[in-house]
Amino acid sequence: MPTLSSISRKRPSVFHLPRPSFALLFLALVSLAAAPLARAQATPPAQPAQQQPDQAAPDSGGPGADSGTIALPRKKDVPDATPPPAPVEPKVKNPEGMSTLSMRIEVPEVTLDVGVIAEKNGQFISNISPGYFRVYEDGVPQKISGFKRVEAPITALLLCEFAANSYYSINDMRNTAFAFAQQLRPQDYVAMMTFDMRTQIVSDFTQDKRQLQEAIDSLRMPGFRETNIFDALYEGLDRLDRIEGHKYIFLVASGRDTFSKLTLDKILKKVKASHDITIFTVSTGGAVRAMTEGRSGGMRGSIRDMDNLQADNEMKTFASLTGGASFFPRFVGELPDIFSEINKNIRSKYELVYRPINTKQDGTYRKVRVELVDEEGQPLRIQDEKKKPLKYDIVTRDGYKAKQEVE
């Protein structure tokens, strides 16, 4: 009889099911037996609580055991480079019933250039203390708020003799005119006139020094031999009278008059009546005169010397009547020193500043007067180096026109 073990080793090759219903029943039983086993394999065995993996989200923001889509890390706060907006201007509200008002206060100032000139030699008197100055506007004393020593610009006419009588005089005139032009300042206004039998405006008033130098260089051939200095000086004074402020005439000539319509008396009367004009004279032909004066030449030589002396006297008179000075150079090397001395006298000014008591802007003309007084209120006395009384003139403008208020 076969044993159980042998039976188990021998597997039948074919199962013979008697009916199909039995096969279906067998498959249903197999399915029911396999279901608990599958559920047992899918559920892992329970573990202690302390050994469970941490499922909390890391800093990156994704789950710890996530193997799917990668979660990008959160961006840290980055400071914004855009500047913050400007603060809003606070709004100020006016009280009820009050409209917006604006106020403007204008305090006018008047600036005076004052020259204190010695009558004897026309030199500027320096070292005067500000406490000695008094300013009056329409007769009312004003308080001086500013005081300093300045070098003021000038307005001048260069009046030159240009006649076909002597090459030496023409050459001296050109050298003198060039020396004068070289010492001009940028703010100076200068015009140039020449004369022989008639006058000619070579250059009108300008601040361009090069224009004046070109005008001097253009003088080539004079037209006449006559030297009508009286007529030319009269015309120059008449033209300058129309210009405001203090003016100067630099007369460069031999001083001889040959064919003027005016006489010496009439031109001297015009010079005395001139207003705010100072004349400086520079004679030409000094080198030739130094070589010929006093030498034998008969009657002709004596008349020539007398004419030269009379010419010198006329040039001195023109200058002295207006507070200027006269010069008689013989060499070109003397000219820079001459004009340096003239510039020192005419440019040196005292600048006075005051605020008018009359603040009306009515466009009226205000008369201005400047005086020098001592501690007792008396006219200031000035002495020269020899302790002698020194007479002086105060040179400044007569007044000014106030601003006109515009509605």
pLDDT digits (tens, 9 = 90+) for 77-96: 555 567 777 777 666 666 67
> How many structural domains comprise the chain?
2
Assess whether 245 and 384 both reside in one domain. no
pLDDT at 7 over 60: no
Query: Distance between CA 356 and CA 343 in Å, rounded?
Result: 31
* Tens digit of each residue's pLDDT (9 = 90 or more) over 121-166: 667 888 899 999 999 999 999 999 999 998 888 999 999 999 988 8
Query: Distance between CA 305 and CA 300 in Å, rounded?
Result: 9
Mean pLDDT value of segment 316-345 = 89
For residues 380 and 374, is the Cβ–Cβ distance under 8 A?
yes
In a domain, 27, yes or no: no
User: Amino acid letter at 265?
Assistant: D
pTM for the predicted model, two decimal places: 0.59
Assess whether 340 and 289 both reside in one domain. yes
Mean pLDDT value across the chain: 80
Assess whether 239 and 380 both reside in one domain. no
pLDDT for the residue 353 = 94
- What is the C-alpha radius of gyration for the chain, rounded to an integer number of angstroms? 56
Assess whether 329 and 359 both reside in one domain. no
In a domain, 98, yes or no: no
Q: Which of 350, 345, 393, 364 is nearest to 131 (CA)?
A: 350
In this prediction, residue 109 has a pLDDT band, given cuts at 50, 70 and 90, of confident
In a domain, 37, yes or no: no
Assess whether 317 and 298 both reside in one domain. yes
In a domain, 79, yes or no: no
Assess whether 321 and 357 both reside in one domain. no
Query: Distance between CA 335 and CA 341 in Å, rounded?
Result: 10
Query: Distance between CA 374 and CA 134 in Å, rounded?
Result: 10
* Tens digit of each residue's pLDDT (9 = 90 or more) over 338-363: 999 888 888 888 999 999 999 888 88
CATH label of the domain that carries residue 317: 3.40.50.410
Q: Which of 399, 377, 382 is nearest to 134 (CA)?
A: 377
In a domain, 76, yes or no: no
Structural domain that includes position 249: 153-346
Assess whether 175 and 266 both reside in one domain. yes
Task: Please tell me what DSSP assigns to residue 10.
Answer: -
pLDDT at 328 over 80: yes
Tell me how many degrees the CA angle 400-403-406 measures, rounded to the nearest 5.
165
pLDDT for the residue 77 = 58
In a domain, 50, yes or no: no
Assess whether 244 and 354 both reside in one domain. no
Q: Which of 302, 322, 346 is the last residue of a domain?
A: 346
- Contact residues for 372 (Cβ-Cβ < 8 A; gap 6+): 116, 128, 132, 133, 134, 379, 380, 392, 394
Q: Which of 346, 369, 385 is the last residue of a domain?
A: 346
What are phi and psi for residue 126, nearest 5 degrees? Answer: -100, 180
Assess whether 233 and 381 both reside in one domain. no
In a domain, 191, yes or no: yes
Look up tokens 């253009």; give the residue: 218
* Tens digit of each residue's pLDDT (9 = 90 or more) over 20-30: 555 555 555 55
For residues 274 and 242, is the Cβ–Cβ distance under 8 A?
no
Indicate the pairing of strand 277-283 with strand 247-253: parallel
- Contact residues for 146 (Cβ-Cβ < 8 A; gap 6+): 111, 351, 352, 353, 354
From the number of C-beta atoms within 10 Å of its C-beta (0-12, 13-18, 19+), residue 369 rates as: middle
- Beta-ladder partners of 324: none
For residues 289 and 250, is the Cβ–Cβ distance under 8 A?
no
For residues 180 and 339, is the Cβ–Cβ distance under 8 A?
yes
* Tens digit of each residue's pLDDT (9 = 90 or more) over 263-310: 999 999 999 888 778 899 999 998 888 887 766 666 666 777 888 899
Assess whether 159 and 257 both reside in one domain. yes
- Reading the block at residue 310, the tokens are 């009379």
- Reading the block at residue 347, the tokens are 């440019």
In a domain, 163, yes or no: yes
Mean pLDDT value of segment 43-47 = 50
Lowest mean pLDDT segment, chosen from 183-192, 230-239, 273-282:
273-282
Assess whether 179 and 303 both reside in one domain. yes
Q: Which strands sit side by side in the sheet containing 140-142, from one edge to the other?
A: 140-142, 133-137, 365-372, 399-401
Query: Distance between CA 46 and CA 242 in Å, rounded?
Result: 124
Assess whether 360 and 336 both reside in one domain. no
